[in-house]
Amino acid sequence: MDILIARHAESEGNAAGRMQGRQDLPLSELGRRQARALGAWLSSLGARWDATYASPLARAWETAQIVSPLVPAPDPVAEPLLQEIAAGSLEGLNRDEMNERHPTFLGRGITGLGDFAEYGGESYDEVQVRVRQFVALLETRHRPRGERVLVVAHGGFNFQLVKQLICEPVPRVCILKMGNCSSTLVRMRERRGRYIGEIVWHVPVELMGERSVEGNAALFR
């Protein structure tokens, strides 16, 4: 089973440098161009896709709606498990506002990232449960036939998904930049009694022919 994991294109929240979490904001004009570039690039590879899953949040859903007919790929199916990590009272804030209202967040060590329970959002453990549920869904529906699946979701969730697929045990800290429209192909195979993935490629939108705005991905939501 091959799983292509794509982050949504630039949203209006990304362009404004704000933590989005579950905030439901549309793509920016640059984001729509990025999504078209991703679709055209995937089409140029000539690969087939047997299923498409997307987060129902507007920025991911719109990205999937733009990409799918260009690939081509099946129409996306909205999957609530793919929603971005809920960030609680951090949502909607830019870096300066976070520093004023929640200075402990920006001062956290690296092992504290990915847990938003302190701010009324999801805990790290809750996110891991959700990721495992989605992996189980893919394995049940698509592993028996070795199908190829396109997943369009969010920086925070995608990062945790990739870790779950390729690492045993799953580390808390792993550095993999998830820029807007970055695309990660994970190939799942049996390896010495363990069904585990390998990253075949991890490609940023710049290599697909569209620009990215540095700095807006700092909050990766």
> Chain-centre distance of CA 112, in angstroms?
19
Q: What is the mean pLDDT of residues 135-151?
A: 96
Asked if residue 117 belongs to a domain, the reply is no
Q: Which pLDDT tens digit goes with each residue over 63-85?
A: 999 999 999 899 999 999 999 99
Asked if residue 14 belongs to a domain, the reply is yes
Asked if residue 114 belongs to a domain, the reply is no
Q: What is the mean pLDDT of residues 106-127?
A: 92
Asked if residue 100 belongs to a domain, the reply is no
- 183 vs 151: CA distance, rounded Å: 10
Strands across the sheet containing 2-7: 77-78, 51-54, 148-153, 2-7, 183-191, 194-203
Domain hosting residue 79, numbered range? 2-86+123-219
Give the pLDDT confidence score for residue 211 in this predicted structure: 78
Count of domains forming the chain = 1
Cis check for the bond before 171: say yes or no (omega within 30 of 0): no
- Give me the amino acid identity at 122: E
The CATH number of the domain holding residue 32 is: 3.40.50.1240
Asked if residue 12 belongs to a domain, the reply is yes
Q: Which pLDDT tens digit goes with each residue over 145-189?
A: 999 999 999 999 999 999 999 999 999 999 999 999 999 999 999
CB contact at 8 A, 71 and 113: no
Tell me how far apart the terminal alpha carbons of the chain are, to the nearest angstrom: 27
Give the pLDDT confidence score for residue 217 in this predicted structure: 46
- 63 vs 208: CA distance, rounded Å: 15
> Both tokens of residue 204?
């940023």
Question: Among 2, 5, 1, which Cα is nearest to 131's?
Answer: 5
Asked if residue 152 belongs to a domain, the reply is yes
Q: Against a cut of 0.85, is the pTM above it? A: yes
Q: What is the mean pLDDT of residues 1-29?
A: 96
Give the chain's mean pLDDT: 93
Give the pLDDT confidence score for residue 216 in this predicted structure: 44
Asked if residue 43 belongs to a domain, the reply is yes
